[in-house]
Structure formats: structure tokens, C-alpha cells
Amino acid sequence: MLIRTVKLLVIGLAWLPLAACSWSLWPHCPECPPPCPPPAPPVADMGLPDVVEKLTPAPAKPEPPPPSALVPATWSEVEGWRDDDPSLALNAFLKSCGPLRLRPQWQAACLEAETLDPLSEPAVRAFFERRFVPHQLRKPDDDRIGLATGYYVPDLRGSRQPAPAYPYPLYRRPDDLLVVDLREVYPELGSYRLRGRLDEQRVRPYWDRAAIEGDGRPLTGQELFWVDDPVELFFLQIQGSGRILFEDGSRVMVNYAEQNGHPYRSVSKWLLDRGIMPREKMSMQNIKAWARENPAQVNELLNTNPSYVFFRELPGDADSPPGALGVPLTSGRSLAVDSRYTPLGAPVFVATTWPDSDRPLSRLMMAQDTGGAIKGPVRADFFWGMGDTAGAQAGRMKQPLKMWVLLPAEEPAP
């Protein structure tokens, strides 16, 4: 029954890209755009892996990292290692140890880290140098310079009830969102998670952003909060976590719960293609400023990104949102990475520059999060923390980057 259900789900989600001249959208071949392509094989006759490859939208199929993505290095080759105080990253590393201590090769390092004096920079530095081997990340073409961007936890003004001042809904995970993990049926497709909705006993792709925020409002009744600014809400979805500030002075934190299954598309391209904003001026702050000055075009801008994020309310005592590792993020010491290349939880030394500056920023950080736009071996998103001050740094950060992953001395590189 499970296999049959999954196959029906895949067939439903796959109908759009497979529609061609043979389907009712093009009932007669002469009406098709010439030349008429040869008919595609029926979906029902394909093996599930073939159907999955044709899904729209389809999650990117992860490629295994090349064996040379991590290259062993010496500590003297880690640029800027002597310029940072690693004791400032010790608390973040102890958070990583929560899940890491379940892996035998990390247990000794995690146990010793608990005994260290967090105020002793020499002791903590000696610990990392003795217990870990740095491995520099590089691209398949041997390029070792990548991109560092930043993210943060924004503050949004909001309410638990709709009001004229708060007309824009922030949605929880919808009741009708179907998420199927294929690994239980086809282990070779374990990286695929299919999202859809049931419509008259057929599974369809889930609503995209334009449909969710359009006049039809298909998610009425699924609201978690209401906020005052659609652009701030859009960037909250990009950041993945935020705080909702109420008029009585109280606040709550919200965190990523699910996503609608559509691919993330940057709104920067829309602005670039129309000559509205040059690449060198592109930043979160400048995009927000343009949106305030051009409210009639905001919906068109935002709808270029069909991806939509749903949220959950965190407990009232949450001081920081959890990342993909499941531990609270640490301002200035947590990093979002591509987990195909950088193991979640691992210490990572980054050599980059401060936002909009050539001033070196060399820092020991922890790989504790991931992100939809964080793809590639030398790619990272720097967590700056909470509120507007952190946002000022995060929104301007687009800097060159070098990365070294620190692996336990007894653990071979992936």
C-alpha cells in the first residue's frame, strides 16, 4: 500500500512537465508549437526513478562531493588562525557536541572540551591544534576561493489577530501539505522529499507564492501571526527565523517548519534583468528601499520567487533559533554550509572580510545550519545574530571566502 501511495503521489506531481502534445492541454498535434516532439512514454509505464527526474518542481539531486573537496593542511597554512581567539567559539562547539558525541570519532574531543577553561585562549587553541586536522575546502577546478554571505534573525511588528495595521499573514505548516520521504521505498532516492496537495483525489504540486498570496487565499485558517510589511515577511522567509514584536511589548520567536516544494529564486535577477539595480548595489537594504519606493511593483518582484516558507512558534524561553543541526545558533560563531561537503557540527575556520570592506575577518565557527541558497564546497552563510544591527551586517555581506574544516585527528576526510 505504501509503495502504491508513493507512486500515485509521484504521478500526480509529475503531470505538469510531462504534459505535451499527447495530453489534453494540446489535444491536436497541429496546434502544438512546431515541430511537434515525439510523444513521451506514459508516466505509469516509467520506473519511479525516471518519473522523479521529471518532477516540477523537483529538488536538486545532490551530487556526492569529489574525493578531493577536502584537502589536508597544516595549521601554519590556515590563514588568519593566529588572529582569532578560539576560546570565543568554545561554547558553540560544546553545543555541536550534543549530537556529535553520538559518533565515536568525536567523543574524545567533546569530553575534553567540557574540561577546558573557557577563559584560557592558549588552552583552547592548543586543544583544537592537538585534537583536529584542518582540511581546506576547494572546488572541483581546484579554486579555493568561494562566497560568504550573512543571515540574521529579523524583528517584525505583528499581531495574533488580523487588523488594519497587520494585514499580511504568516502561515504555519498547512494541514493539506503532503511531504513524502522516498528513502523508505527507494533508498537510492533518499535525498528526495516530494511535496504536494490532494485535489479531487489527485496529487498536485503545492501552491506557489503567487497562489498563496493571491486573491484566492487558499491557506485561510492556517495563519500563525499577522504582520505589517510584506517585504519584511518575504525576507523573514529567506532568513528562516525571526521575532514577532507585539504592541504590548511582548514577543515570540518563529522558526522554519516546512516549505512548499518550489525552488528558491533570487529576486535580484528580476531587478538586474530590468536594469533597476546594478549588481554592485544589490543588497537586502537596497532591495527593501526600492520596494518602499515602488509599492505597485512589489507583488511582481516577490512572486518571481515561487518558494514559500511556513513557520512554527518556538517556546517562550528560546533565546536563539535552532539551526539544521538542532542546536541553538550562536551569534558570530554559527555558520550555514552545504552539508554535502562540510559535516554538520564540525568546527570550520573561515578567512573572509567584513561586509563592504577589505578588512580581514578570520574566525573559528561551527557548521550548525544549512540554507537553500548555500550550495557548493566553498560557500557559507555567516550568522550575525538578532535584530537590526545584525541585519545591517548580514544584508551587506557578499565577500570572498576560504574555508578549513577541522576533523578529529583520527577521522579520515570524507
Domain boundaries, the chain: 1-56+175-220, 70-151+322-408
SS3 38: coil
Segments in the chain below pLDDT 70: 1-68, 188-191, 411-414
Bridge partners, residue 124, by sequence: none
The pLDDT of residue 313 is 95
Query: pTM for the full model?
Result: 0.75
The pLDDT of residue 318 is 77
User: In angstroms, rounded to a whole number, what is the distance separating the alpha carbons of residues 220 and 174?
Assistant: 10
Place of cell 528580476: 270
User: In angstroms, rounded to a whole number, what is the distance separating the alpha carbons of residues 362 and 348?
Assistant: 11
Q: How many helices (DSSP H) and strands (DSSP E) are in the chain?
A: 11, 17
The pLDDT of residue 292 is 94
**CATH number at 70-151+322-408:** 2.40.40.10
Locate 109 and state its grid cell. 574531543
Bridge partners, residue 398, by sequence: 149
* pLDDT tens-digit readout, 58-67: 444 555 544 5
Kindly tell me the burial class for residue 202, based on how many C-beta atoms sit within 10 Å of its own C-beta (0-12, 13-18, 19 or more). middle
The pLDDT of residue 180 is 81
* pLDDT tens-digit readout, 300-322: 999 999 999 999 999 877 789 99
